[in-house]
Each structure stands twice: as C-alpha cells, then as structure tokens.
Structure 1
C-alpha cells in the first residue's frame, strides 16, 4: 500500500470555487477510490489527525473548529444539538382566571416558549415526560403564576393628577414577567430546594431571562395559572430545543498564486470583507532578490491573506480579469467551523458535550443491535 504525499492530501481536501462552478465537492477518503492506497478507518490515525480549535467561548455563545471529521458526523452533531439534547419546558397550562387582553391559547403558547434553567441534580433525577394526565413528582415540575394588577396607593392620586402616563408607576403588576413564576416543589423535590439554597441558588428552577415580558395588565385584571413543565427534546417540539442556533460552515481558503502588487493589491483587498486581506510593503531584501517576484517593487504594497475565516467566499475578485490567474478560492473539506448559541439550560460549551454524549449512546445502541443480529 502506498501513501499519498501531504501535497496530494491537501489537494483532495480543497473544495475549489470558480467563477461559475464548485469543484471537488465529494469526499474521497474511503477505501477503493484510489488503487493501492489504504483508506480504511483507523482509530489511531483519527486521533492523530483530529483537532479542536476554540475561537470564541462565552456563556451562551461559542465558536470552535472540528478538524479531521467527515460531513455526516459534523451534521449529526448539528442535528443532535437542535433536536435531541433534552431540556424542560412548560407542557400543560391550567388557567383558573385570565382577564388580560391576551387570549388563553396565546398566553399558553407564550409560556411554553420561555426557557427555564433547572438545577443539574434535579434535572438528572427527573424522568421523561409522563403519559397524559399522570404528573408525578419525579417527572413534572409545577410552576405557578398568580398576578393581580391594582393601583398603587399614591398612584391614583399623586401620579395621575401630575399627568404621569407610565403604567409601571401607576399600577402594581402592570407588566407580567417571567420572573413572576413560582416553583412549587412537591414530595421528593423538596431536598433539591434545600440543596440549591446551600449552594446560594434561590430556586432550583427559574426562568433564564427573568425580564421576559409575558403580558400587560391594568387595574382589575388578573392572571392565575398553574403550569406543568416536563423533560423533552426538540424533535418533539421546538420549545424543548436547547439552541437558539447551531450551525457550521467549512473553513475558507484563499491561495494567492501570483503576487498582487500596487493598485491591484488595494483593489483586491476591497473584494473581501474587512480583515480578510492585508497589505504589506515590499522590503528591501525582497526587492533586491532577482529571483523574487517582488524585484524592483521596493516600498510598494502587496496583498497577503490575514484571516481567511472572515471570508464568506463571495467570489467577487473572480469578476475582475486581472485576478483570475492570481488567486484560487475554496474551502477545506474536513474543517468545520461550528457556532452554538444556547437558550440557557446549558452553557454553549456544555451543550456540545451533551450532544457528544447523545451521539455516543446512539452508537452503543447501534452496536448492540448489530451484535444481536449476528447471534
């Protein structure tokens, strides 16, 4: 078995963008494509080639690169992030009284979309969503919302007479927010409340965005509701999805084949978003080298690739004939740039770890099924 050179492997990984077409879009890293080459999957080879690079790490937004994966695996991570990592959300809404201007069904739908943060220990203890009409302490979280709007004691006299129009100064509970939900622990949920308090958490279940507006009330209007939140996944309903977005793109690659100097260099830089291409002056050493393409251009600016990741591969430069034989655009076939925005149940970094756990369980189930088939 022969081994291809690094240059040949880099060529195979390059998805080339021309003015009209895209070339080399299919993966070729599997057995039988190249005679005499062994491309069978090997875990040691995968460990050596696989890399993870972090670009941005925040509580709810993270960006990182997975290098050395195939597209189906990368897409499996994306789909699991969106649809198969479990969270909790309000499933059942029991309305005792609602005299607000929002209809019952609209109000219930708004409540279902509120992301809640739940204590890790309580979340792991909870079982999956119960059968309809069978809530239990081990599978249901009760959250109550009881708000009554009325005048402030001095609002009706002092502020109204002064021409005040801000309802939050005139009325008590003029706005109903997500923070107004109250967690009602029952039976075996009580120890989790005490444990949370010991860790400085006021409640083991609380809305991720407390200032999220649910409704507006005026004096005499009341909202009295009991809700049941359960564990679920995004494949059942989007309200259970832990991601605001989960996406990936291939790493852009810009190869400057021939030097681009002077006015052409400035024009070339303007073909890309800011920061992708930078201009550098030709040094004296480069200009004096007779074999250098920069000979005789001392002090002039030439184009270099500063940060290809910022490039969306617009192909704008290929519209200009002076650049067609000087640059090659494309993407790297096995370099996936992920961006994850969490809704709050998990941090963005933990979210990807949870997706990896789900994928691992899927693989174990598939392995078990294959073993049973062979018996």
Structure 2
C-alpha cells in the first residue's frame, strides 16, 4: 500500500509539472502571437530570410537566350515574396539609398549617364518628357515676299521651321494667341540673291538669317490703304528692342556654331529669296520642330557572365564571334590562354556568341540589369543636354505635384 501511495504522489507531481510547463509555453506563444502574425512566422527557425538564387536572378535580371529574352517583367506587387519573408513594397528610404546617377560622357552636343535604382516606367517617363514636353523656340510663321528658287514655298517654310535656334527658351513666354511682342517671339529676315555675273550657284545657310531686335519690318496688307497720318502696323507689337533687354544685350540671338552651317537652299543665277520668319515657344507634343533633342534613348545595362572556364581554341573562337570586342584573351600558366569579359558595357545583344547551339549557352550567359539604365541624350542645339535633363526632372516634379493636389 505504501508503494502504491508513493507512485500516486509521483504521478500527481509529474502532471502538475506538465500542466505548469504547458501554461508557461502557452503564455509565451501568446505573447509571441500578440506581436503579429508576420513577426511570429519570421521568428520560426525554418523560414528563409532571402530569395533563392534562381528567383533573385529572375527578379533582377532579363535572361537573353538565343531565341528570345525571358523574365522581362518587373515584379511590382508588394506581397509577391511575402511567403518567404521578403518585403517587395516600394519604400522611399530604400529608393534614396539605392538611386544614383553617374555621368559617363559629356559634351555640348550629347551626354551619356547611368541611371541606377529606378523602375523602367520612370526611365521611360524621362525619355518621353525630353522628346515632347521640354519647350524650345522654333519658327512658326514664314512671310515670303519673293521666292524664285527651285524650292516651293511650302518646302522652304518646312525647312526653316526645323532649324534649331541658339536661344534659351526659358527667357520667353508662350504666345498662346496673344500679339507677338519682345517677350514671346523672335523675328528674323532672309534676303539673298545669286548674281548672274558673280556666282554660278549660291548656297543659302542658316547664318544668312538676320535677327531683327526691333520686330517685324513687313506691313500688314490690311493697312495698305490707311491714311498716311496713322502709324503703319507690322506683324509684331514690340514695345522696346530686344537687344536693349539685359538677357540679350551681351548675347545676341542667332544660329551659332554648327547650326549656322545648316543649308536652307541653293540658288542658281538670278534666283532670289526674300522672306521674314517669326519664332515662338512650343513643345514637341505639338510639332516635332519644337523637340529639343535629336534623340533621347536608353538601354538596360548588359551583363555578360562566363558560366565555365573557356580556354585555348574555344576561347579564340568565342572572341572572334563577338563583333564589338566584348571578350579578351589573357595568358595563364603553362602557355594556356583563357577567355575574359573585358567590355561588357559594349555588348549590343547580337547573340553571336550563343547562336550556334546549346553548348555555347552553357558557356556564356547574356543578361540585362532591370534597374540599371544607360541613358543617352543628344541635344538639337538650343540647350546643353544636362540642362535639358534638369528641365525634364522639373516637369515630372510638376506633374507629380499636380496629381497629389488633385488626390488631396
């Protein structure tokens, strides 16, 4: 009987200890669950904290195979990788830390820079704004007094409209149907003649257009019968000469540098052109003559990876396949040669290195970085390319502020 009582007491103590341990574990788990479901899941030891390598590669790279590129879409859904504990949502602090711009090449005519850490939609927004929404000055009205050249009046007017003007458009206002004055227009005149005895043929260039700081010199036809006492009315209403304004007094308006060499027409003996043109402010969305860039384009950063060691004859063969010289040969021990990737940025994705079968795709992998863009901006001549991009940033900022104000 005594032994039976001792066994019962021991069993009671074990049950009490188990109940106490269960209550403590429940209180601890309850405290952990109170932190939040995601925090509780992330605290488990078998939950991965990073994406698998093959998923990370698909998320950040475009794989360029011999037939077609794969994984070209950008994954923007915030919960796309929530099951593995990766937050894919957009965070401003993360964007600030990752975003940067690196200028690779710069001149007065063009600029190449890297835009890193942005979405393709944002890069394309800058491209579209540069082409169609940054304003410039261009010839809008052509008043032809005499044209005996072989070029029709319409073709001549079209040529004149496409000539870039060396002037800062930020110094002018939009005309918007208002009378042309010194603040919203520029007036040029052209009067050239090919003398029969002096020239067999004369080339008319943009530098032959002369700036009229006092405005138009042609009288409107409706005032031709007016009384002599009334002041003759021209096509512009300048209140003061433009060369008296401080922004133009030391910087005359015209066609400077290479712009002055643009050919307008070629005159034969006895042919003559006499006309007057009026330039106003506009944007490329209205007409291409107001586009400030010759071209603005971008491409994703190429990434060329050797998946295995390529040596000797195979290395020489692969180097000869690339037309832009992406690969190079280096000497290693024992007289062997090894292939290296020397200029991956020059890759044009022609796929010549992987075109001849699967064995070449096992040696070389061609990729594109989804958030790294090589931007090229070629100015038409009105403004330097860095100023054009700065103006594009301001326009996008204005658009964003407009959307925010409408939503609020």
- TM-score tier, shorter chain, comes to 0.7 to 0.9
**Whole-Å Cα distance in 1 between the matches of residues 347 and 184 of structure 2?**
47
**Whole-Å Cα distance in 1 between the matches of residues 255 and 363 of structure 2?**
57
Per-residue CA deviations over 1:178-237 (Å, capped at 9, x if unaligned) read 1111111234563555636764x3x13435611111112234322111111000011000
Per-residue CA deviations over 1:23-63 (Å, capped at 9, x if unaligned) read 11111144011113222222221111112122211111111
Higher RCO (CA < 8 A, seq sep 6+): 1
Name stretches of at least 5 consecutive residues in structure 1 with no aligned partner. 156-165, 169-173, 284-297
**Whole-Å Cα distance in 1 between the matches of residues 123 and 370 of structure 2?**
11
How far did 1:176 drift? Answer: 1.4
TM-score of the superposed pair, with normalisation by structure 2? 0.76
Alignment-derived partner of residue 210 in structure 2? 182
**Whole-Å Cα distance in 2 between the matches of residues 191 and 112 of structure 1?**
21
Given the alignment, which residue of 147, 155, 159 partners 1:98? 147
Given the alignment, which residue of 270, 275, 295 partners 1:220? 270
Alignment-derived partner of residue 364 in structure 1? 401
1:189–1:318 distance in 2 versus 1, CA, 3 Å: farther
RMSD, aligned α-carbons: 2.3
Alignment-derived partner of residue 343 in structure 1? 380
Alignment-derived partner of residue 314 in structure 1? 350
Alignment-derived partner of residue 233 in structure 1? 283
Given the alignment, which residue of 311, 320, 325 partners 1:275? 325
Contact (CA 8 Å) 1:260, 1:303: kept in 2 or not? yes
Secondary structure, counterpart of 1:167 in structure 2: coil
Contact (CA 8 Å) 2:137, 2:165: kept in 1 or not? yes
Alignment-derived partner of residue 136 in structure 1? 181
Return the structure number with greater helix share: 2
- 1:28-177 to structure 2, matched below 5 A, reads 28-35=75-82, 36-118=85-167, 120=168, 123-131=169-177, 134-151=179-196, 155=198, 167=200, 174-177=202-205
TM-score of the superposed pair, with normalisation by structure 1? 0.83
1:196–1:369 distance in 2 versus 1, CA, 3 Å: closer
In the comparison of the two structures, how many residue pairs are matched? 334
How far did 1:272 drift? Answer: 1.6
**Whole-Å Cα distance in 2 between the matches of residues 352 and 190 of structure 1?**
32
Name stretches of at least 5 consecutive residues in structure 2 with no aligned partner. 1-37, 43-48, 215-237
1:197–1:142 distance in 2 versus 1, CA, 3 Å: closer
Contact (CA 8 Å) 2:51, 2:86: kept in 1 or not? no
**Whole-Å Cα distance in 2 between the matches of residues 34 and 333 of structure 1?**
18
1:14 matched to 2:42? The reply is no
1:195 matched to 2:237? The reply is no
**Whole-Å Cα distance in 1 between the matches of residues 272 and 330 of structure 2?**
67
How far did 1:10 drift? Answer: 5.1
Per-residue CA deviations over 1:101-148 (Å, capped at 9, x if unaligned) read 211111111101111111x3xx334211331x8323322211111223
